[in-house]
Amino acid sequence: MRLFKILLVFFATSLQLGSALSQMTERTIDEVKHESMARAQRGAYPLGGLDPVDVAQALDRIKTSDRDEWARGWGHVAQGYMAQGRAASSAAQAAAAYKKAWRLYYFAQWPVPNSPAKIAAYESAVQAYLLSAKTMDPPLEVVTIPFEGKTITGYLRLPKQSKDPVPLILAISGLDSRKETVAESYAQILAQGVGFFAVDSPGTGQAPLKVNATAERMFSAVLDYLHQHPRVDHSRIIVSGVSFGGYWASKLAITEKARLLGAVAQSPPVDEFFTERFLREGTMGNREYLFDLAPAFINVFEGAHSIDDLARLMPGMSLKAQKLLSKPTTPMLVVTGVKDTQVPISDIELLMRSGDVPKEAWINPSGGHLGREAKGWTDPVIFSKVIIPWELRLIEQSRQR
């Protein structure tokens, strides 16, 4: 009854958001620069971990909305840290410099590498991250899995050697996050005796295919690999996805129920999100998103070159249209915020009342996308105080059965 009352409040709030959505327009470059600095100063996504001094230096070099100019501005600052890494007197100092370079290169290609300089920045981001990872303990292993004539590339980190196979999180990135960012989020779980496998979602990073209605098959291939790994307890694998990665986590909770202990989905698109109305009123020009949300989706969808293409392709992604929501699911934690303008709250309600097992929800009345706030419930806090504790409880409950 309590959940039902809460959801009624969500519906009322979503109606209020509806009129605001239709008024949104894309930020100008001056507005993007101002908002970028504001987010950097409070450590907000997607500028978390960036030094505001570095941000100011990069922004000073950017005068227009040209994508290559954007990438070069951030890349210029990143190159300085790459030079520091090469000249460092210790492995630890080098790793610290390379990590700073990675964050800058990552933002240089943000939200997606859809220009020549952004593509180069993404490649540099991966290189810088792997250089920074050389001192990680336990080590990070780059895994390549054959898949349909291509390869799936992921990062595997397992706790230090133990006698028994370990539980594992299959961590899926979102539209504009990458396997590197989710690997950073899940590094803290290693101390709890749990490993993770971080992988790019379809259409992003090094994923071997773009978004289409059956692209979850690449994650099934990852599960095949993990089920054969001698150090992974394949009976205790939890899938976790952020934003559009939450869509894949929600779908896998159904299609791969038999091979998953549970699933975590942060602000997962489910049904209404994929409608043409929401695309044109909620996605285009969305200002909760820093910039270029619709172009980012065009970049990741197979066969998409325009908004009209997205309007044609997206409805087929709906889990309702695919007739999956009535099927059995693995236990789930669904995380979002009432003020999320990127994924309609109706999608969360639909997911919560579907399937055959009780689901848990953590819904921040003051939160936006992923449940995040400017202060308080930030991304790192939600991960450390909500998501990881839920996963650890589920793993512990499985031990007691």
In Å, how far are 25, 66, 280, 304, 316 from 294, measured between CA atoms? 11, 16, 9, 11, 17
Give the HSE-up count for residue 344: Cα atoms under 13 Å, Cβ half-sphere: 25
Placement of tokens 């089920």 in the chain: 227
* Predicted pLDDT at 56: 98
CA 170 to CA 69: how far, in whole Å? Answer: 35
Beta bridge partners of 194: none
In 116-155, which ranges are continuous DSSP H helix?
116-132
* Both tokens assigned to 39: 């987010």
* Predicted pLDDT at 4: 33
Per residue in 318-362, pLDDT (tens digit) is: 999 999 999 999 999 999 999 999 999 999 999 999 988 889 999
3-class SS at 313?
Answer: helix
CA 253 to CA 332: how far, in whole Å? Answer: 8
Placement of tokens 């295919």 in the chain: 209
The residue extents of the domains of the chain are 30-135, 138-400
Burial bucket for residue 391 (CB in 10 Å: 0-12, 13-18, 19+): buried
* Predicted pLDDT at 358: 85
Length of the chain: 401
CA 240 to CA 399: how far, in whole Å? Answer: 20
DSSP state letters, 183-219: HHHHGGGGGGT-EEEEEPPTTSTT-SS-B-TTTTHHH
- CA nearest 222: which of 248, 192, 193? 248
Beta bridge partners of 237: 168
What is this structure's pTM? 0.93
Pairing between strand 150-157 and 195-199? Answer: antiparallel
* Predicted pLDDT at 144: 98
Q: At what angle do helices 29-42 and 52-60 cross, to 10 degrees?
A: 170
Pairing between strand 360-364 and 141-147? Answer: unpaired
3-class SS at 282?
Answer: helix
In 22-158, which ranges are continuous DSSP H helix?
29-42, 52-60, 67-87, 91-108, 116-132
State the CATH class of domain 138-400.
alpha beta
Per residue in 7-31, pLDDT (tens digit) is: 434 444 444 444 444 456 899 999 9
**Which helix (DSSP H) or strand (DSSP E) does residue 232 occupy?**
strand 232-242
* Predicted pLDDT at 134: 96
Please count the other Cβ atoms lying within 10 Å of the Cβ belonging to residue 15.
10
* Predicted pLDDT at 239: 98
In Å, how far are 25, 252, 253 from 257, measured between CA atoms? 40, 7, 5
C-alpha torsion angle, residues 339, 343, 349, 354 (rounded to 10): -160
Identical fold for domains 30-135 and 138-400, yes or no, is no
Say yes or no: domain 30-135 is CATH 1.20.1440: yes
Torsion over CA: 67, 177, 103, 131 (sign): negative
* Residue segments in the chain with a per-residue pLDDT below the cut of 50: 1-22
Q: What's the one-letter identity of residue 100?
A: K
Supply the DSSP symbol for 301. B
* Predicted pLDDT at 8: 37
